[in-house]
Chain A
Amino acid sequence: MAITFDKALGIHEHALQARVQRAEVLANNLANADTPGYKARDIDFRAMMQKAQESVSGLQMATTHHGHMDTSSPGSDGELLYRNPHQPSIDGNTVDAQEEQSRFMRNAMDYQASFQFLSSKFSGLTKALKGE
């Protein structure tokens, strides 16, 4: 039986990647907090995880024709959506700096959680290898 990291690490690797991507989008929102006409964006984390889950579980659509497209390829990214503004400013900017900052912080905490899970997977693997 071959040990593959893909099977050993499970969903956490994808979750961590999704968190990093979301952090990037949120950081971009914060950098553009004063840009006229900028529309705040976010990633649908659930859709992203669903895609990752499909790629991990291996339940994918079979392709029997060269024109078939693989819609759930691993590493494909979640959809980038626009946020519904509560109070858009007069210059067309829809970034709510406080809200975005709290989301960014929360995303960082969730990142830490995913990281902890991933880290314990590695320490579990090490323990198994050492046989302690």
Chain B
Amino acid sequence: MSLGNIFDIAGSGMTAQSLRLNTTASNIANAETASSSTDNAYRARKPVFAAIQQAMLNPDQQGFGTSLDEGPGAGVRVEGIVESDAELQMRYEPNHPAANEDGYVFYSNVNVVEEMADMMSSSRSFQMNVDVMNTAKSMMQRILTLGQQ
């Protein structure tokens, strides 16, 4: 019986989605962050998800997941966080304290509308994983009552 695996899978999904929500929060908070150079300007951050294969976790396991391609998988992990290479907003604001010698200020390349959509998507996905975990829990509770009158 591998009902316990479902908890791990749904848990990894929740971790990944909450990290995605974290990057979204950081992006929205820094949407109006100004900087005097392109190097220091805030760029939108996006997590990259990848599937975990069971064969990666225990390579000597026989049966259900022997080869890397055949296993049922064991959830999701965050492979890394990449910065968006969209163009920065360059504004001419000579009175800004962070303006460079030409009078330009570099604002972040965060697209707030995109971030809001991302936020909704990740909160829905989080909810979905919670539902899965709840169902797995009730399945497990039921198996504990096996043989009882």
Name the prevailing secondary structure of the A interface residues: helix
Docked complex Cα distance between A24 and B5 (Å)? 7
Nearest residue (CB) in B for A79 is B70
Which residues of A sit under 8 angstroms from B48, Cβ to Cβ? 36
Contact present for B72 and A80 (CB under 8 Å)? yes
Which B residues, 99 to 128, have Cβ-Cβ distances below 8 Å to chain A? 121-122, 124-125, 128
Which residues of B sit under 8 angstroms from A23, Cβ to Cβ? 3, 6, 135-136, 139
Instruction: Give A contacts to B, CB under 8 Å.
Output: 17, 20-21, 23-25, 27-28, 30-36, 38, 41, 75-77, 80, 97, 101, 104-105, 108, 111-112, 115, 118-119, 122-123, 126
Can you report 26 residue pairs joining A to B where beta carbons are below 8 Å apart? A21-B2, A23-B6, A23-B139, A24-B2, A24-B5, A25-B73, A31-B12, A31-B13, A31-B132, A32-B73, A33-B125, A33-B128, A34-B20, A34-B76, A34-B122, A35-B49, A41-B73, A76-B63, A77-B63, A80-B72, A97-B125, A111-B139, A115-B142, A119-B147, A123-B147, A126-B147
Q: What bracket does the count of chain B residues touching chain A fall in?
A: 35 or more
Docked complex Cα distance between A123 and B146 (Å)? 9
Minimum distance in angstroms from B105 CB to a CB of chain A: 34
Contact present for B146 and A104 (CB under 8 Å)? no
B51 is an interface residue with CB less than 8 A from chain A: yes
Instruction: Give B contacts to A, CB under 8 Å.
Output: 1-3, 5-6, 9-10, 12-13, 16-17, 20, 48-51, 63-64, 70-76, 121-122, 124-125, 128-129, 131-132, 135-136, 138-139, 142-143, 145-147, 149
Minimum distance in angstroms from B121 CB to a CB of chain A: 7
Which residues of A sit under 8 angstroms from B1, Cβ to Cβ? 17, 20
Minimum distance in angstroms from A71 CB to a CB of chain B: 14
Among A17, A30, A118, A123, the residue within 8 A (CB) of B132 is A30
Among B71, B129, B138, B142, the residue within 8 A (CB) of A31 is B129
